[in-house]
Structure 1
Amino acid sequence: MVRRHAFHYRYDTAAELKLLNALYALVRVRLNLFTATTKAVGWRSNKHGKKTRIYDKPRTPYQRVIDSGILTEAKAAELAQLMEITNPADLTRGITKIQTQLIALAAAKTRALEASSTRAEIAEARTTLSRAS
């Protein structure tokens, strides 16, 4: 989940850490409240004996934990309130906004690195080495 939402850039500044923490908070809420998943519940065999998995109906992690009955009344009410006040479209817009900021920060670092390198170093890095070297 981390690389799916934060991409494969290197983040090593305090500003990027702050953005990543905000991103993970939004992704966590969207994943747990609005992303339905299926869970494997068993196996079945077809007429030729090949086994295949059986899955339950898609449900969100929020629905699964509510149905399990392990939450206290206060925690269940807190989650229900979070579910009611959360707008999935706003979550997606917030995630996209943070991702755009992270990409801009990573691009700025890349441009600064390329500007500090000489053209000869860049050309040398792009040439392939022979087996003799």
Structure 2
Amino acid sequence: MEQKNADIVRRFAFHYRYDTAMELRLLNELYDLVRIRFNMFTATTKAIGWRVNRNGKATRVYDAPRTPFQRVIESGILSDQKRAELEAIFEATNPAELTRRIVDIQTRLIHLAAAKTGESPRVQWRASSPSIG
């Protein structure tokens, strides 16, 4: 689990050292946005079993891609109030605007980190503009 958490943190916040109150505020805002993006709009597959191919090799079988939001709604374990709250967040969120806000915060964090080191900011476009989907 820690490997997965570190992957998300490093992918969106990079490997810079953040140690000011402004950077903490930006990181907290970034993590809130990333949490919504991953839980509401990033589909994943889950391993549901094994199958054996014609050569006898066992391979994993996965379910259809769904977001964590879809999975929890389909599970039926939420109260009506919590379900309505999550659905309201989903309906109110524009994925494109969410991505723009994430990239804006990342750019600001890069500039703050670069200012402390005296380097010119190197924007990592592959990392700073994560793929949708």
TM-score (structure 2 length as normaliser): 0.83
Aligned position for 1:101: 108
Q: Which runs of 4+ in 1 moved over 6 A?
A: none
| 1:15 partnered with 2:28 | no
Distance 1:54 1:67 in 2: 20
Q: Which amino acid aligns with 1:110?
A: T
| 1:73 partnered with 2:80 | yes
The percentage of aligned residue pairs carrying the same residue is 69
Distance 2:105 2:74 in 1: 33
CA offset at residue 54 of structure 1?
Answer: 0.2
CA offset at residue 41 of structure 1?
Answer: 0.3
- DSSP 3-state at the match of 2:64: coil
Aligned position for 1:49: 56
Ranges in structure 1 where 5+ consecutive residues have no aligned partner = 113-133
Q: Which amino acid aligns with 2:26?
A: L
User: Of residues 28, 31, 41 in structure 2, which corresponds to 1:34?
Assistant: 41
CA offset at residue 51 of structure 1?
Answer: 0.4
- Give the root-mean-square deviation of aligned CA atoms: 0.9
CA deviations 1:83-108 (Å, max 9, x no partner) are 11100001000000000000000000
Q: Which amino acid aligns with 2:53?
A: N
Distance 1:95 1:85 in 2: 17
Aligned position for 2:126: none
TM-score (structure 1 length as normaliser): 0.83
Aligned position for 1:130: none
Q: How many residues align?
A: 112
CA offset at residue 81 of structure 1?
Answer: 0.8
User: Of residues 72, 81, 88 in structure 1, which corresponds to 2:95?
Assistant: 88
CA offset at residue 21 of structure 1?
Answer: 0.1
Q: Which amino acid aligns with 2:90?
A: M
